[in-house]
Amino acid sequence: MLAAAREWLGTPYRHRASTLGAGCDCLGLLRGVWRALYGAEPVAVPAYRADWRGEADGALRAAAERFLLLVDGPTGAGQVVLFRLGGMSEARHCGIMVSAERFIHAQEHLGVVEANLTDGWARRVSGRFEFPNI
């Protein structure tokens, strides 16, 4: 799973995209890793705004709860992590943990990068999940 996620490093940021090397956003990264692991995506993804504002509250978390497994325990490699951004109470961003201290995510203006889970990022974590063993 981590090898599949690392394949996306350097992919440019493109809202609502999910094409390796051509462009993706944070959800597109997860979708691409899902396809690498399992084949087709389980459902079509509805349109959404780049900042998720105006979306159904909790839509990202609801999708994670539907298709992924909730993690209870320490942060570790391979976990999908959800983040609250911009003072919002609901998750608006996601990434994949590489270790307890680093994660891969798609960020505007940077594309897909591996970054440190700084205190600022850690304070915004709103959920951790794992890909299922299908």
Predicted confidence (pLDDT) per residue in 54-99, tens digit: 555 688 999 999 999 999 989 999 999 999 987 778 899 999 999 9
Q: Would you kindly state where each structural domain of the chain is located, as residue ranges? A: 2-130
Q: Tokens for 113, please give them.
A: 């990068």
**Average confidence (pLDDT) over 13-34:** 97
Longest dimension (CA), the chain: 35
As a whole number of angstroms, the distance between CA 18 and CA 54 comes to 22
Q: Which residue has the higher pLDDT, 43 or 129?
A: 129
71 conformational bin, left if phi > 0, alpha if psi -120 to 50, beta if neither? beta
Name the CATH superfamily, with its identifier, for domain 2-130.
endopeptidase domain like (from Nostoc punctiforme) (3.90.1720.10)
Q: What pTM did the predictor assign?
A: 0.92
3-state secondary structure of 107: strand
